[in-house]
Amino acid sequence: MDCKNFERFDMSKPPVRTKWYLRPITILLSLPDVWKHRAKITKVRTEGLKPPYVLLCNHNAFMDFKVATKAIFPKRANYVVAIDGFIGREKLLRNVGCICKRKFTNDIVLVRQLQKVIKNGDIAVIYPEARYSLCGTTAVLPESLGKLCKLLKVPVVTMICHGHHANSPFWNLHDRGIKPTEAEMTCIFSPEELAASTADEVNQKIVEMFRYDDFAWQKERGIETKYEGRAEGLHKVLYQCPECRTEFRMNSKGTKLFCEACGSSWTMSRLGELSFDGGTDEAGAGHFTHIPDWYEWERANVREEVENGTYTSGDLEVHVDSLPNAKKFVRLGNGTMRHDMSGFHVSGTDDEGNPFSMEISAETQYSVHIEYEYLGKYGDCVDLNTLEDTWYTYPHGRDFAVTKMALATEELYFYYRRATGRPCKPGLA
């Protein structure tokens, strides 16, 4: 780790019950978008449901928070939020009930925070995928969810939103006017049902409820978008050409996705589908029409590299920002990053000439958070977390894709689980 003595975010401070004067503000800030997109919220098995309970939500866009706020208002809730959400507004977020979390870390303090929320008689809102979906489908869920729900001993409720990724995908946040959006709020376990179920059974039910596909939903509903830049940014997710198999040379503009290596191109329709325009058509993997199918093809290719023991990002020049607290990012300095079969390796020198380094073992990290064109400043990045710090690591050049690193992180974790004889349960890590 770096040798600078930064003030650290106080993760142990007890969660704050939402201040009474802020509760009306939270709903007033949420309603305009909820109304704009004519969000339909369907409630299932929620008759007589009262806090405290656990609310597990899928995660596709900031709209998720607004729909959840509308669904539970006027009840109090505490939301688990990543540390970058607190930047410059820690006091406000604490007062509206937010609990800070560093992504993809094993944090026993968070468990105690959630126990406090339940003891207070409030709703514990958790986004277990811990990042926006990259292509509108379910991300891997932590296997600890079942044990957590059993520990808290209160009703378990899921909220699955549809249309939020199609409206504002992680790779291009422009609002595309998708409406109506939909959400289902379902009580999947009462306290009695929870007590009678094993942690594995709880996990199985959660995984079942979290199956979603935003682009399939959009097509089934026949909901069109007229936004002419709808394909822009899609190459961040679809980084490998299925026609020539070249990586890191995909690009996009307007409604077009294209490969700069072989000239193949695709058009994204108003329904979110792809159609093949033409190209070399040599050794192609097929003309994908469904974006998640292309993404899963990339995953299969990464899995093959992992199973062959050949996966590596190579040594990438990077610059690194640290986020030790909620005040601001701190530039650590320049260095190198390598992601390989053993995990992430980052090292460099800060502006005072002091060395810094971080190593995260592939066997301990089931997923990783990435950003595309983060804050519009430095490009794509991988953020690496410990319990005390978060490093935003920005590779330079073109010969990488943070999406591939995210896929490789998951595939490496599962690879080592299988190697040690631990079963890999579908949808869980």
Whole-number average pLDDT of the chain: 93
**How do residues 287-303 score in pLDDT, each as one tens digit?**
899 999 999 999 999 99
pLDDT of 279 reads 72
Architecture of domain 23-221: 3-Layer(aba) Sandwich (3.40)
215: number of Cβ within 10 Å: 22
Average pLDDT rounded to a whole number, residues 375-383? 88
Average pLDDT rounded to a whole number, residues 332-342? 97
Average pLDDT rounded to a whole number, residues 170-184? 96
Q: State the Cα–Cα distance between residues 400 and 185, nearest whole angstrom.
A: 39
Average pLDDT rounded to a whole number, residues 37-41? 97
pLDDT band with cut points at 50, 70 and 90 for residue 158: very high
Average pLDDT rounded to a whole number, residues 354-371? 95
Average pLDDT rounded to a whole number, residues 47-64? 96
Answer CATH for 316-419 from 1.20.58, 2.30.29, 1.10.10, 2.40.160: 2.30.29
Q: Map out the domains of the chain as residue ranges.
A: 23-221, 234-308, 316-419
Average pLDDT rounded to a whole number, residues 31-57? 96
**How do residues 246-286 score in pLDDT, each as one tens digit?**
999 999 999 999 999 999 999 999 999 999 998 765 555 56
Residue 180 has pLDDT above 90, yes or no: yes
Least confident of 104-113, 225-234, 336-345: 104-113
DSSP structure string for 391-416: EEEEE-SSS--HHHHHHHHHHHHHHH
- Residue of higher predicted confidence among 279 and 344: 344
CB burial of residue 8 (10 Å; 0-12, 13-18, 19+)? exposed
Average pLDDT rounded to a whole number, residues 121-142? 94
Q: State the Cα–Cα distance between residues 132 and 138, nearest whole angstrom.
A: 10
Bond before 423 cis per omega within 30 degrees: no
Q: What percent of the chain has pLDDT over 70?
A: 97
Q: What is the enclosing helix (H) or strand (E) of 206? A: helix 199-209
pLDDT of 2 reads 44
Q: State the Cα–Cα distance between residues 195 and 199, nearest whole angstrom.
A: 10
DSSP structure string for 25-87: HHHHHHHHHHHHTT-EEEEES-TT--SSEEEEE--SSTHHHHHHHHHHTTS-EEEEEEGGGGT
Least confident of 22-26, 149-153, 238-242: 22-26
pLDDT band with cut points at 50, 70 and 90 for residue 360: very high
Question: Phi/psi of residue 69, each to 5°?
Answer: -60, -45
pLDDT of 1 reads 43
Least confident of 114-118, 247-251, 371-375: 371-375
CA angle 203, 205, 207 (to 5 degrees): 70
Average pLDDT rounded to a whole number, residues 306-312? 98
Residue 390 has pLDDT above 80, yes or no: yes
- Give the pairing type, strands 256-259 and 250-253: antiparallel
416: number of Cβ within 10 Å: 18
Residue 315 has pLDDT above 60, yes or no: yes
CB burial of residue 86 (10 Å; 0-12, 13-18, 19+)? buried
pLDDT of 397 reads 94
Q: Residue with structure tokens 């305009």?
A: 32
Residue 3 has pLDDT above 50, yes or no: no
